[in-house]
């Protein structure tokens, strides 16, 4: 079982693997840049008071020695441009450190977000199939994109500057205190005011952002559903309805974000007002103390400069606190995914010979505790190398049987075994690699036909692909395409017909040559002649595989060694075609409806 993240801090540190060094270097360079930014006001103060004026310079011994070494104060008075050059040098060094800060900060942020995306994707692909039925695709995508970017922005633009802000505030207050303790206290008193009002907005912004983020997830789901199901929307003339549904949700989403924008506007407006008041207070106090000769003109200029520098860190500190609420919401949403339990094999899970009997032993299943039984006490045996046909109405549990065999769900009660081993004790990856499953609505990737057929076998050759396509009666259709096997199928196979998509999916499965092959109503979109050709090719080319055919078409099932009929989740009839055709029951009724006579074989 993967690690559970008890809080957001644990999750952030987990994703910081590989990027910590970048962020540490970024913080160090940010601190160095802050220090050099604070040197120039002292140089300007010294120039005004001691070079232009006559005040004795209260400099450290190192600087006094340096000034004496170049000719003393008198020399600087006649060569004042030296001071300007020194100011430029200090500014350039500060700019270099700021560049290095941004460089390593950006590298750290990109590394961090890459690790987060990789970790999320790796975790999501190992989540149980049931998890995806309870979480809309659009919402998952929104969490993996928008929320990841929110966290990245906060970490790279806000959190990494936290230490720089603290250092800047501490150094600014220190340098201010060397000029005037009274004025320093006057400037410092605004810090708790800004922090207090930021905390006041912190919770409110967080709650509003969470609501807006959830509404964005719903909007993304609607957009995703309509883009992937565009043909269905068009076919049923649902454009107007879907547009209204999208616009309605978009209005809700917009109102949620407008509420958030109003809160942020109030936050920044109040902050601007407090910052402006601080600047005016310090400017007025400084002028007052300068007139009273408590500070010099140079000290006044330096103090105002420090105060101006102090305003940005204090405002940034407020922004960090405010944006933290948004980041916390996004981290919570990511943590929900990361804390969802992955599929876990038994510690003693094994790999068995899949060429064996398949046994369903009193299997019952429901999708959740509140739902009714989909399968109720189902038992049957499929002998190895034989073909089983499954017939049943909509909702009778036909596909669910195959999902259980593929261990996409756990049975509610009973057991399923292959070659005498309960599938609970078989390694899931190994099990699924040895079970070929073709669904009624196959999913094709936006690649070429050749790439889609060979998607399960990376080492497959062109000859392997052509052989599989011939068995699936697909090669003739491919030869009519201009680009042949290189033809792109488009997103979800949109450029192919329903029958071509099904046959491509059949070729996908056939090329893998799995011991167990399942056709879940996967011949429904092909005509009876093609159906017969495919079944004949399968019989000729697949000799030792166990085949399971699910269909509503009797002609597809009638050659099976055994046929089971499901009705409302229970096994209603078992036998071969001749036996079931001669019995009163569901199978015979369907035969009569489909005009299947007893003489057809």
Condensed to tens digits (0 to 9), the pLDDT of residues 178-207 reads 778 888 888 888 878 877 877 777 677 777
Last residue of a domain, one of 308, 338, 368: 338
Residue-wise pLDDT for 365-394, tens only, equals: 998 888 888 999 999 999 998 989 999 888
Residue-wise pLDDT for 354-367, tens only, equals: 999 999 999 999 98
Q: Are 310 and 400 members of one domain?
A: no
Q: Does residue 152 lie within any of the structural domains?
A: yes
Q: How confident is the model at residue 563 (pLDDT cuts 50, 70, 90)?
A: very high
Q: Does residue 357 lie within any of the structural domains?
A: yes
Q: Does residue 384 lie within any of the structural domains?
A: yes
Return the minimum-mean-pLDDT range out of 22-31, 219-228, 319-328, 532-541: 319-328
Give residue 61's pLDDT.
57
Q: Are 297 and 392 members of one domain?
A: no
Q: Are 319 and 388 members of one domain?
A: no
Q: Is the pLDDT of residue 96 over 90?
A: yes
Residue-wise pLDDT for 110-154, tens only, equals: 899 999 999 999 999 889 888 888 888 878 888 888 888 888 888
Give residue 232's pLDDT.
73
Q: Does residue 407 lie within any of the structural domains?
A: yes
The mean pLDDT of the chain is: 82
Return the minimum-mean-pLDDT range out of 95-99, 224-228, 330-334: 224-228
Which residue in 551, 570, 129 sits closest to 374, CA to CA? 570
Dihedral angle over CA of 164, 170, 173, 175, nearest 10: -80
CATH number of the domain at 185, please.
1.20.1560.10
Q: Are 245 and 387 members of one domain?
A: no
CA neighbours closer than 13 Å in the CB half-sphere of residue 210: 14
Q: Are 355 and 322 members of one domain?
A: no
Which three-class secondary structure state does DSSP give residue 66? helix
Largest CA-CA distance found in the chain, in angstroms, rounded = 122
Q: Are 365 and 419 members of one domain?
A: yes
Q: Are 156 and 234 members of one domain?
A: yes
Give residue 259's pLDDT.
86
Q: Is the pLDDT of residue 599 over 60?
A: no
Q: Does residue 469 lie within any of the structural domains?
A: no
Q: Does residue 381 lie within any of the structural domains?
A: yes
Q: Does residue 497 lie within any of the structural domains?
A: no
Q: Are 333 and 370 members of one domain?
A: no
The whole-model pTM stands at 0.70
Q: Which residue(s) pair with 517 in the sheet?
A: 436, 547
Residue-wise pLDDT for 422-466, tens only, equals: 999 999 989 989 998 888 777 888 888 888 888 888 788 888 888
220 vs 215: CA distance, rounded Å: 9
Q: Which residue has the tokens 């109040």?
A: 270
Q: Does residue 243 lie within any of the structural domains?
A: yes
Q: Is the pLDDT of residue 39 over 50?
A: yes
Last residue of a domain, one of 338, 362, 389: 338
Q: Is the pLDDT of residue 231 over 90?
A: no
What are phi and psi for residue 301, nearest 5 degrees? -60, -45
The H or E element that residue 340 is part of is none
- 297-338 vs 39-46: helix crossing angle, rounded to 10: 180
Q: Is the pLDDT of residue 2 over 80?
A: no
Q: Are 356 and 320 members of one domain?
A: no
221 vs 178: CA distance, rounded Å: 59
Residue-wise pLDDT for 566-597, tens only, equals: 988 899 999 999 988 888 888 888 888 887 65
Q: How many domains does the chain have?
A: 2
Give residue 601's pLDDT.
42
Q: Are 321 and 183 members of one domain?
A: yes
Q: Are 71 and 103 members of one domain?
A: yes
Last residue of a domain, one of 338, 365, 393: 338
Give residue 292's pLDDT.
81
Residue-wise pLDDT for 246-274, tens only, equals: 888 889 888 888 888 888 788 878 877 88
Which residue in 201, 144, 139, 164 sits closest to 325, CA to CA? 201
540: how many CB neighbours lie within 10 A of its CB?
9
More confident residue, 313 or 255: 255
Give residue 377's pLDDT.
92
Give residue 99's pLDDT.
92
CATH number of the domain at 422, please.
3.40.50.300
More confident residue, 217 or 601: 217
Q: Are 273 and 360 members of one domain?
A: no
Which residue segment(s) compose the domain that 565 sits in?
Answer: 350-434+547-596
């Amino acid at each position: 079982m993967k690690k559970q993240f008890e809080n957001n801090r644990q999750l952030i540190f987990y994703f910081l693997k590989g990027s910590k060094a970048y962020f540490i270097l970024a913080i160090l360079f940010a601190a160095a840049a802050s220090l050099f930014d604070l040197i120039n006001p002292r140089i300007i103060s010294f120039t005004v008071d001691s070079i232009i004026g006559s005040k004795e310079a209260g400099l450290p011994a190192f600087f006094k020695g340096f000034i004496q070494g170049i000719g003393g104060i008198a020399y600087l008075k006649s060569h004042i441009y030296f001071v300007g050059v020194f100011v430029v040098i200090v500014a350039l060094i500060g700019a270099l450190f700021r560049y290095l800060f941004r460089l390593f900060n950006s590298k750290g942020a990109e590394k961090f977000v890459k690790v987060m995306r990789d970790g999320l994707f790796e975790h999501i692909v190992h989540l149980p199939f049931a998890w995806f039925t309870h979480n809309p695709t659009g919402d998952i995508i929104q969490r993996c994109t928008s929320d990841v970017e929110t966290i990245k922005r906060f970490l790279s633009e806000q959190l990494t500057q936290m230490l720089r802000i603290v250092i800047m505030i501490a150094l600014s207050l220190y340098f201010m205190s060397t000029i005037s303790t009274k004025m320093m206290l006057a400037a410092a008193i605004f810090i708790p005011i800004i922090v207090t009002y930021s905390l006041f907005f912190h919770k409110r912004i967080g709650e509003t952002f969470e609501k807006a983020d959830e509404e964005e997830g719903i909007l993304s789901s609607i957009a995703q559903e309509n883009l992937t199901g565009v043909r269905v929307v068009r076919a049923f003339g649902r454009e107007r309805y879907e547009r209204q549904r999208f616009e309605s949700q978009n209005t809700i989403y917009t109102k949620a974000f407008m509420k958030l924008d109003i809160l942020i506007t109030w936050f920044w407006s109040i902050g601007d007002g407090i910052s402006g008041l601080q600047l005016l207070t310090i400017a007025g106090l400084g002028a007052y103390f300068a007139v009273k000769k408590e500070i010099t003109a140079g000290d006044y200029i330096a103090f105002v400069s420090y105060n101006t520098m102090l305003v940005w860190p204090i405002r940034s500190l407020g922004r960090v606190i405010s944006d933290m609420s948004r980041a916390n919401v996004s981290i919570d949403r990511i943590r929900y995914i990361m804390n969802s339990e992955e599929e876990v094999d038994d510690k003693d899970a094994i790999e068995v010979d899949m060429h064996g009997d398949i046994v369903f032993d009193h299997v019952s299943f429901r999708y959740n505790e509140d739902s009714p039984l989909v399968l109720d006490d189902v038992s049957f045996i499929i002998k190895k190398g034989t073909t089983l046909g499954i017939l049943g109405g909509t909702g009778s549990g036909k596909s669910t049987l195959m999902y259980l065999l593929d261990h996409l769900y756990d049975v509610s009660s009973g057991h399923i075994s292959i070659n005498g081993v309960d599938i609970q004790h078989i390694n899931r990856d190994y099990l699924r690699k040895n079970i070929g499953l073709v669904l009624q609505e196959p999913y094709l990737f936006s690649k070429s036909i050749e790439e889609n057929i060979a998607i399960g076998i990376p080492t497959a050759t062109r000859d392997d692909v052509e052989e599989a396509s011939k068995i699936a009666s697909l090669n003739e259709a491919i030869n009519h395409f201009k680009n042949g096997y290189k033809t792109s199928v488009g997103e979800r196979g949109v450029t192919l017909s329903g029958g071509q998509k099904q046959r491509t999916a059949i070729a996908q499965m056939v090329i893998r040559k799995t011991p167990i092959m399942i056709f879940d109503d996967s011949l429904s979109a092909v005509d009876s002649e093609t159906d017969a050709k495919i079944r004949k090719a399968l019989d000729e080319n697949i000799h030792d595989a166990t085949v399971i055919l699910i269909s509503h078409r009797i002609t597809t099932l009638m050659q099976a060694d055994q046929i089971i009929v499901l009705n409302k989740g229970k096994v209603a009839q078992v036998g071969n075609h001749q036996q079931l055709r001669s019995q009163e029951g569901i199978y015979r009724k369907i035969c009569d409806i489909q005009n299947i006579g007893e003489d057809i074989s």
